[in-house]
Every structure is written in structure tokens, then in C-alpha cells.
Structure 1
Amino acid sequence: MKEALLLQVETYVVDLLNKQLAATNYYHNAIHTRRVVANIEELASLEACTEQETMALKLAAWFHDVGYIYTDQGHEEESVTIAISFLKQQEVPEDLLSLVEQLILATKSEFKPKHKLEAIIKDADCGHIASENFIEISGNLMKEINAKNHKHISEIEWLQQNLVFLKNHSFYSNSAKQLWQPKKEINQLEVQKKIDKLLAKEKKKDKSSRFGRGIETMFRVQLKNHIELSAIADTKANILLSVNAIIISVALSNLIPKLDSPSNLFLVYPTLILMLFSVASVVLSVLSTRPKISNVAITKEMIKEKKTNILFFGNFQKMSLQDFEWGIDYLMENEETLYNSLTKDLYYLGLVLNRKYKLLRITYTVFMFGIIISAAAFIYSYYVYFSV
């Protein structure tokens, strides 16, 4: 008889909620009602409730939120009206009807339970706070509040409200305290972790907000310009290398073999001067293009403290693949460190360019004066030799 009544109640309540409940009831719906009934069954068994008490608790659980089809504020009274009307038709005894009414009204948020049954239904109604899906279930409640109140509670604001609720909440029944309190504390820690993560994300977003497209364009253009300037310097150095190599080659093949003749002795000094300046130009050209690789072993601490730039191969060439992958991931997760590395890259490229162009300037000067002095030496030697 009692099982048949519960089946009739379940069918009636679920049908009522599915057909008449507002679409914005993302939390207070048939799913929540079924969850509360399941919690009632668990707690009633642990609290050794009588058959009559368990029946009253289950009936109250099924009907406790049906009033939402009419109103949100004071829905408990509406729920009582619907429950009593239906249960009277099923010829439920008056004493049971009175207890069901009492238990439905006990689900009010501000109500303090006075006996075991009220404590059980209060705990069952809040049993989701000990659920493994607490954050998801709580998210549905936030969605419902936002939809009904036409306002927007942010995720972090909602989680902070949940954290306060979890800290201040206490279960009333001994069984709920023993069974659900540890799970509730785990959820409290998870909420705190999620808040910390969102706050860190917002902080990171605030820090990175100053890095806009204009900043990225500046880095891109400047790095490109520096690389092009470096390529120009290398091209100039290669031209000097080629010219002086040709001069040395011609001197070695044509001039020097003729110097052993007494008639060509006047060409010895001009040839030596030409060779000396050409060799000096070659050496300076090689120095300007000679690469320099760092021998410093990069550590994770150096990356975190922004003391190095692993975007340059000369710095990370001694790192293991695992450490290098960690470093790149760290840069992608920390935008400020990434831009700091790009700044270092730009700075050290500038230092390299400064060295290259200084050496190139010296090389061109040496080459220019070498050609002038060599030519003057040849002219002077011919003049002295033929004037004698």
C-alpha cells in the first residue's frame, strides 16, 4: 500500500514539475527532488527511523519544491497546499498529513530543526554540498538565480559565496555529520582551489593587459630589423673577405714569384704593405662574423628569475630536452616573462650588431688606408727606381 502511494506521488510530482515548472528552474526541478528523496532514504536508514517516519520524510521530500510552479518566494506554503490536496485524495491519515506539512515547512532556509525528522529533511535538502558533483550542481543554482533575477553573478563571486556558505553550514543529524561532513570539507577545499585559480588567472590577465598588439608589432618589427641589419653586416664582411682574398691570391701568384729577381726588388716593400693590409682586413672580417656561443648552463631558477633568455639557441644549447620544453611552457604561461625574454633577445642582438659594425668600420678603414698606402708605396717605388 505504502509503496503504491509513493509510486503515485512520484509520478504525480515528476509530471507536475516537468510540465508546469518554468524553464529557468535549472536547480529546483525534478532532478533536485529525486536527489533529495535519495538522501532521505540514506539518512532515514542510518538514523533508524520508523516506517511511519520514513514515509513522512519521503512524501515531504517529493512535495517540498512543487510550489515553485507558482512562486519562488514562499513556495513552501504552496507546496504544502499541493501536497495536502493530493494526499487527501489518496486517503492519507491526518496525523501523517500533519507531519508531512511540518516537514515541508522545515525546508525553509531560515528554519532551525527541533527534532530528528526535521534535521534529516534539512540535511537531505542540502545534501548536494557533499556530492562529488557539487560545483556542477551549484553552477545550476547560479544559472537559475541569474536567469530569474535578470542579473549576472560572476563565477568567482558565486564561488566565494559558496565558500562562505560551506564554512558556516553545519549538518544537523548525526548520520549526516559522520557521512557527509568529510565530503563537504573536500568540496570546500576544491572551491577554494578554484577561487585561487580564477584569481591568479585574473591577476595574470591584468598584468598582460598592457601587452597589446602594438607591443607585439614593435617586437616583431624591431627583431626583424635587427636580423636584417645583421645579414647586411655579414654580407659586407663577405664582400671584404672576397676582395681581399682575390688581392692576396693575385699577389701570391703574380707578384711574389717575381720578387726574387734583382730588377724587381723595388716592389718588395709595396707588396708586403699590400699583403699586410689585406691579411689584416681578412682577419677583421672573420672576427666580425665569428659567432659566439654562451657556455653558461641555464637552470629553471634562472628562467623564473628572468636572468636568461632561452629563445636564443646559444643559451639553451646545453639544456636537456625536458628542461627546454618546461622553459617554453613556462614562457607561454607567464606572458610577462615571455616579453622579458623578447626584450633580452632584442638587447643582445643589438650588442652583437654593435660589435659587428664596429669591426666592419675598422675593417673598411684598414682596407681603405691599406689600398691608399699600398698604391702610394708602389708609385713611390717606381718613381725612385726609374729616376735613378
Structure 2
Amino acid sequence: MEEKLLRDVEIYVAELLTKQLSPTNYYHNGIHTRRVVADITELAAKENCTEQDTLVLLLAAWFHDTGYIFLDTGHEEESVKIARSYLKEQNLPQETLNQVEQLILVTKTGSKPTNNLEAIIKDADCGHIASEDYLDISENLLKELNAKNDEELSEIEWMEQNLIFLKNHSFFSDSAKQIWQPKKELNVLEIQNKLHKLTAKENKKDKNTKFGRGVETMYRVQLKNHIELSAIADTKANILLSVNAIIISVALSNLVPKLDNPSNLFLVYPTLILMLFSVASVVLSVLSTRPKISNVAITKEMIKEKKTNILFFGNFHKMNLQDFEWGVDYLMDNEETLYNSLTKDLYYLGLVLNRKYKLLRITYTVFMFGIIISAAAFVYSYYINMPL
């Protein structure tokens, strides 16, 4: 009799929910109802409930969410009406009907159970919080709420609400406390981990709004410009080196050998002036292109405190491979530090360029005045030594 009744109730409720329940009920649907029925079967067995008590619990479980076919808020009262209408036709005793109705009503949010049967159905209605699939089930509930409410909850807001609910929730029956409480605690940890990941992801997204494509383009263009200017400076220095090397070699091969002749003594001073300015130009050109490498040993603390830039080889050349790999990984995980390193790189490139172009300016000035003075000295020497 009881098995047939429960089988008929299952068929009736399943057909009712399939045909009349809103498609936006992603959580409160037949799947949830069957889950509650299964949880009640488990708890009733653990609590050593009688066959009659188990029957009443299962009947209430099957009907407890049928009221959702009419409305969401206050659906328990509608569920009671549906259950009463169907079960009356099965000629159940009034006492059983009253028990079923009371058990359905106790599933209302905020209600407190007054006996063991009410505690069992109350725990079973929230049994999913001890499920291994809690996150997936919770996602369906979020989907349902967002589909029915005007304002959508974000995933972070939903996880925060879940965490508050789980921490404030308590099971009522002894069996649920013993069996499901440890599983619920594991889900609390899983929610905390997911919330941490979501928050970190959101913070990263906020940082990305600060360090967006425009900022990256700025760094890329400026660094490229600085490198090109450095290459131009080196090219100019090489030109001066080549020209003065030619001048020195010509002077040494053609002018200097002729100075031992007494008739050419008047060329001594002009030649010395030319050689002096050429050598000075060569020295200044070499200084402007001479690389400077830092001798400071870089530490992890310096990287964390943004006191150095390991993107430049002159800074990381003394680091071992493991520390360098750690530093690069740290930069990739911390965008603010990464951009700070790029800023330092840009700044110090600017300082190097400033030094190069200052020395180049001095070199060109020395070379220009050297050529003028040398030429004037040669002209003057020829003039005063011309035969009358």
C-alpha cells in the first residue's frame, strides 16, 4: 500500500513539475525534489524512524516545492493545497494529512523545527550544502535567482552570500550533524578558495584597466625611441672615431716623417695641434660609447620593494638562474611591479642618453675647433715661412 502510494505520488509530482513548472526554475525543480527525497530516506534510516514517520516525511518531500508552479514567495502554502487535494483522494487519515502539511510548512525559510520529523525534512531540504556537487548546485540556484530578479548577482557577491549562509547554518537532526557537518565544512573551504580566486581575478582585472593597452603602447614606443636614439649616438661616435683615426694615420704616415727635415720645422706646431685635437676627439668618442655595468648584487627583497629593474642585463648579470627565474615570475604575477620596472628602464635609458649626447656634443665641438685651429696653424706657418 505504502509503496504504491509513494510510486503514484512520484509520478504525479514529476508530471506536474514537468508540465507546469517555469523553465527558469533551474534549482527548485524535479531534480531538487528527488534529491530531498533521497536525503530524507538516508536520514530517516539513520534516525530509526518508523514506517509511518518515513511515509509522512517522503510524502511531504515530494510535495514541498510543488507550489512553485504558481508562485515563488509563499509557495509552501500552495504546496500544502496541492498535497491536500491529491492525498485526500487517496483516503489518508486526517492525522497523516495534518502531519504532511506541517512538514511542508516547516521548510519555509526561517522556520524552526519543533520535533525530530521536522528537523529531518528541514535538514534534507538543505542537504545539498553537504554534497560534493555543491558548487554546481549553487550555480543553478544563482542562475534561477538572476533569471527571476531585476538585479543580477555577480559571482563574487553570490559566493560571499554562500559563505555567510554556510557559516550561519546549523543542522538540526543528530544524524545530519554527524554525517553531513564534516562535508559541509569542506564546502566552506571550497567556497573560500573560489572566492579568493575570484577576488584575485577581479583585482587583476581592475589593474588591467589601469595598465591597459594604451599604457603598454606608451612604454613600447618610448623604449623604442630611446633605443633608436642610443643607436644614433653610437653611430655618430663611430663616425668621429673613424674620421679621427684616418686623420691620425695620415698625419703619422705623411707629416711626422718629414718633420726631421730642418726645412719643415715650421710644420711641427700645426701637426701637434692637429694630433692633439684628433686624439682628444677619439678619447671623447670612446667615452661616449663605453658601456657602464652595475656591480650591485640584486636580491629578492630589492625586487619586492621595487628598488631595482631586472629587465636590464646590467642589473641581473650577477644573479643566479633560479633567482632570476623567480624575479621574472614575480614580475609576471605583479603587474604594478612589472610596470615599475619598465618605468625604471625608461628612466635609466634616458640618463644614459643624456650622458652620451653631452659627450658627443663636447666631442663634436672639440673636433670642429681642432680642425679650424689646425687649419689656421698650417696656413699661418706657411705664411710666415714663405720666402720673400
Do these two structures clear the TM 0.5 threshold for a shared fold by scoring above it?
yes
Separation of aligned partners in 2, 1:90 and 1:275: 122
In structure 2, the residue matched to 1:22 is 22
* Distance 1:92-1:252 versus aligned 2 partners, 3 A rule: farther
Amino acid at match of 2:273: I
In structure 1, the residue matched to 2:301 is 301
In structure 2, the residue matched to 1:316 is 316
In structure 1, the residue matched to 2:65 is 65
Separation of aligned partners in 2, 1:14 and 1:325: 59
More displaced 10-residue stretch of structure 1: 21-30 or 35-44: 35-44
Deviations 1:144-165, CA, capped at 9 Å, x for gaps = 1222122222223322322222
Separation of aligned partners in 1, 2:14 and 2:178: 31
CA drift of 1:344 comes to: 1.0
Q: Does 1:334 align with 2:334?
A: yes
In structure 1, the residue matched to 2:283 is 283
Q: Does 1:45 align with 2:45?
A: yes
Aligned residues: 388
Q: Does 1:268 align with 2:268?
A: yes
In structure 2, the residue matched to 1:179 is 179
Q: Answer yes or no: is the 8 Å Cα contact 1:288–1:359 preserved in 2.
A: yes
Amino acid at match of 2:83: A
Deviations 1:136-186, CA, capped at 9 Å, x for gaps = 322322221222122222223322322222222111011111222222233
More displaced 10-residue stretch of structure 1: 163-172 or 334-343: 334-343
In structure 2, the residue matched to 1:129 is 129
Separation of aligned partners in 1, 2:79 and 2:248: 106
Deviations 1:74-118, CA, capped at 9 Å, x for gaps = 222222232333344445555443332222222111221111111
In structure 2, the residue matched to 1:113 is 113
* Distance 1:379-1:127 versus aligned 2 partners, 3 A rule: same
Secondary structure of residue in 2 paired with 1:259? helix
CA drift of 1:217 comes to: 4.1
More displaced 10-residue stretch of structure 1: 88-97 or 30-39: 88-97
CA drift of 1:123 comes to: 0.6
Separation of aligned partners in 1, 2:36 and 2:259: 111
In structure 1, the residue matched to 2:369 is 369
In structure 2, the residue matched to 1:75 is 75
CA drift of 1:261 comes to: 3.7
- Structure 2 runs not aligned, ≥5 long: none
CA drift of 1:292 comes to: 2.0
More displaced 10-residue stretch of structure 1: 100-109 or 208-217: 208-217
Deviations 1:175-212, CA, capped at 9 Å, x for gaps = 11122222223333333444444445545555554445
More displaced 10-residue stretch of structure 1: 232-241 or 372-381: 372-381
CA drift of 1:63 comes to: 1.8
- Structure 1 runs not aligned, ≥5 long: none
CA drift of 1:226 comes to: 1.9
Separation of aligned partners in 2, 1:273 and 1:255: 12
Deviations 1:366-386, CA, capped at 9 Å, x for gaps = 212222232233233334444
State the superposition RMSD in angstroms.
2.6
CA drift of 1:133 comes to: 2.9
CA drift of 1:267 comes to: 2.8
Q: Answer yes or no: is the 8 Å Cα contact 1:106–1:113 preserved in 2.
A: yes
In structure 2, the residue matched to 1:243 is 243
More displaced 10-residue stretch of structure 1: 240-249 or 185-194: 185-194
Separation of aligned partners in 1, 2:294 and 2:11: 77
* Distance 1:322-1:63 versus aligned 2 partners, 3 A rule: farther
Identity, % of aligned pairs?
A: 78
Q: Answer yes or no: is the 8 Å Cα contact 1:208–1:336 preserved in 2.
A: no
Separation of aligned partners in 1, 2:3 and 2:260: 127
TM-score (norm 1): 0.89
Separation of aligned partners in 2, 1:297 and 1:7: 78
More displaced 10-residue stretch of structure 1: 98-107 or 184-193: 184-193
CA drift of 1:67 comes to: 1.4
